[in-house]
Structure 1
Amino acid sequence: MSMKLLVFDDRDFVHLPDQAPDWGPVADTRAVFSVRTGALTTLERLQREWPHGLAGLWVPNHLIARTRQACTVPVNEAPEPGQTLLCINGRWVFPGSQFEIGPGQALVEQSTGAVVAACLESEQAGFFLEDGALPADVEQIGYAGRLLARRPWELLGLLSQTMATDLPAMIEQSRSGEDACDGSIPDTVPGITALEPDNVWVHPSARIYPSVVLDAEGGPIYIDDRAIIRPGSILCGPAYIGPGSTVLDRSLIKANTSIGPVCKVTGEVGSTIFQGYANKAHDGHLGDSYIGAWANLGAGTTNSNLLNTYGEIMARLRPQAHRERTGMMYLGSIIGDHVKTAINTRLMTGTVIGTGSMIASTAAPPTSIGAFSWITDVGIHPYRFEKFIDVARVVLRRRNLDLTEADVELLRILHQRETAASS
């Protein structure tokens, strides 16, 4: 049976006590399915795996305008009558085909009560999306394990799996699909060293300089449209370099690093996701981290991703929240959109920095920083919204872009929420 896909962000849905999802700054300005969770976003991964098309998206109310701006499919609109829809939770980062559900059935996590996927008629889907709970006539199939990511560090825990899935599929499609290209390493550039060259795909418009090492023995390397790899850089697979991004001179890009579009990256980077449009253009270590869009890490910014005790890392998504066990030995920094760090900033293990914060202290900042914080040696103060927007406009214009009304309104809502939470 041919069904179209409808992907939903369930953060505003009905949840069991203490089981509500919270991805912190990672999903402040975007739906959970638009977060880069491997070489691809979760939505991109779903669309590659589901051939019947995308019927629509459903997001929390404050993200509707921003999502409509970025997508061409219906957003938060009632499904057209007469359809059977496969509704999939956008927090299912690594959806598997081993689960089969028929019309009128839903796969539900037993421990959290959250809907993972549901096969629904239009009327049932409309009720579910509006009400946040399944209609009474839908059969619930319980799953005893965990399938949905509740916290942002879980995305990093899944990164080796998503990269191992995304990259081979992307290379295969690029070599055999429409506009196929073998993606071979350019033989006109002297001094490129490639280990397992068949495991490397290079877009014809990408540029690789002499003395670059492409080590794909540990996994594939995919260098996308207009990407640039500067001299002396070492890339270790699995790795993804997105469209228009630059890996600067003498970089060490270690395994399981995904760099989204239009980034500048250098230094030692490993097991890290760059959402896109972010800069780490100077030396410094960055490991097991997530970097939001329009973030800029100043020269020498370095993070810790491992405790001296080699113990489990505790983290706190925001200053008012409780510290949580992450279940991880390696966890660097979770950095929201529009964050800026000054030179030689030191980020301790498990640091979470909220959207729009500016860090300019000589001492290491707190490990949990609220959104729109202005941190100097004098203390922590709110970042005035008007000043923040002025800076954001300057940053975007350097990439020939500008903030839209939807962007500004979303950031205003987030700023107001942070002001209310910290007062």
Structure 2
Amino acid sequence: MYVLPLQDISCTNDLLPFTSTRSVLGIRMGILTLSEKWMLLLGLNGFMLNKNPSAPSLPANILPTRALAARIREEANRELFHPAGQGPFNQAAIDRIITHGRLIRYPWHIFQHNAEALLEDFELITTGRESQPIPPSVRAINPEAIFIEAGANVQHCVLNASTGPIYIGPKAEIMEGSLVRGPFAACEGATVKMGAKIYGATTLGPYSTGGGEIKNTVFFGYSNKGHDGYLGDAVIGEWCNLGAGTSASNLKNNAGTIRVWHPASGSYLDAGQKCGLLMGDYSRTAINTSFDSGTLTGVCCNIFGAGVPPKYIPDFSWGHNGSVRYEWDKAIRDIASWKKMKNQIFTDSQVLRLKHIFESL
């Protein structure tokens, strides 16, 4: 059996701030993280991270799919001469595989290709399995494309899967009055608040909360947008909280190209016609915060104050414009408090990773 080598060295900086606190393989798209996708496609030990940048490896930011996994198996079965230690995945094989995949190079690619990931993951997770019955109080459109896991609570809402599948994970709750249009995923323990309006392609990661109006947005996990306000074409990391009324523009008034700050190059890059908020882990906003289109915030930012924040807010910012630093002791205290609210603990390894970011500023 061959093990697929993956390499994240060359793509980590391009995916900041989301790779400040996790491996590229920890990025969530669709229903699963990239790592979880590979586990289902290739088996628990079917892939590994290769830390040697010169060794032939598939880039870790390629989107895993069933078709790509089939191509990998085809390459592994080729009867070619392989240099010692390379197995079947020499550079020629890697190049052939890449031509059949999609690279997630920049943060905005996460939401831009989330619909594709949702459809792929829905098939991967649900094929050959039976959904829990859709409760009679639910107005279901195209019910064959709706999958409800055991332990989910879904009542008095509208689930429209005519535009894409809808997946509702274990312990997830869709509260009464919610309007949900696929493709959509509420992962384990996620909650859709009463009266929410959610458009595809949206992912509520594990134990995240969605309320108000949300469109084409990925929440990695344990984050909250529990109140009114608009969020579209956005990516929200883990342990973020958007205060009541927080909204983010996703379209310029002139419908022009949106440019997003790219920390690795220290410049702005084109992100397309639509791009909302890109928020790193552990960041939070006060009530009624308003963001310009294409705003990028680093990790562990506490954003509050009058006026519209700048389009780039560095890691560990405190206040409105990113000019004041969040004090280390207060930042760690506050994160621990948020984790306690969801019955999680702040591990030593997480603290050390944040300490490295803080000391690098």
Q: Compute the TM-score of the two structures, normalised by the length of structure 2.
A: 0.88
Counterpart for residue 178 of structure 1: none
Counterpart for residue 48 of structure 1: 40
Counterpart for residue 167 of structure 1: 122
**1:92 aligned onto 2:62:** yes
RMSD: 2.9
Partner amino acid, structure 2, of 1:123: G
Q: Distance in 1 between matches of 2:211 and 2:159?
A: 15
Counterpart for residue 338 of structure 1: 282
Shift of 1:399: 1.5
Counterpart for residue 346 of structure 2: 403
Partner amino acid, structure 2, of 1:89: P
Q: Distance in 1 between matches of 2:83 and 2:342?
A: 44
Q: Is the 8 A contact 2:62 2:104 kept in 1?
A: yes
Structure 1 residues 104 and 170 mapped into 2: Cα distance closer, same or farther (>3 Å)?
closer
SS at match of 1:169: helix
Counterpart for residue 325 of structure 1: 270
Q: Is the 8 A contact 1:87 1:120 kept in 2?
A: no
Structure 1 residues 286 and 102 mapped into 2: Cα distance closer, same or farther (>3 Å)?
same
Counterpart for residue 370 of structure 1: 314
Shift of 1:348: 0.7
Shift of 1:27: 1.4
Partner amino acid, structure 2, of 1:364: V
Matching residue within 79, 98, 101 for 2:75: 101
1:138-217 pair list within 5 angstroms = 139=92, 142=95, 147-173=102-128, 175=129, 181-187=130-136, 190=137, 192-210=138-156, 212-217=157-162
Counterpart for residue 36 of structure 1: 28
- The percent identity for this pair of structures is 29
Matching residue within 165, 175, 181 for 1:236: 181
Q: Is the 8 A contact 1:298 1:342 kept in 2?
A: yes
Shift of 1:162: 1.2
Shift of 1:151: 1.2
Matching residue within 14, 17, 28 for 1:25: 17
Counterpart for residue 263 of structure 1: 208
Q: Is the 8 A contact 2:56 2:94 kept in 1?
A: no
Q: Distance in 2 between matches of 1:346 and 1:120?
A: 56
SS at match of 2:203: strand
Counterpart for residue 4 of structure 1: 3
Partner amino acid, structure 2, of 1:412: K
Q: Is the 8 A contact 2:218 2:236 kept in 1?
A: yes
Paired residue total: 352
Partner amino acid, structure 1, of 2:134: I
Q: Distance in 2 between matches of 1:334 and 1:208?
A: 29
SS at match of 1:300: coil
**1:381 aligned onto 2:311:** no
Structure 1 residues 6 and 59 mapped into 2: Cα distance closer, same or farther (>3 Å)?
closer
Counterpart for residue 80 of structure 1: none
Larger Rg: 1
Counterpart for residue 131 of structure 1: none
Shift of 1:57: 3.6
SS at match of 1:27: coil
Shift of 1:142: 4.5
Counterpart for residue 414 of structure 1: 357
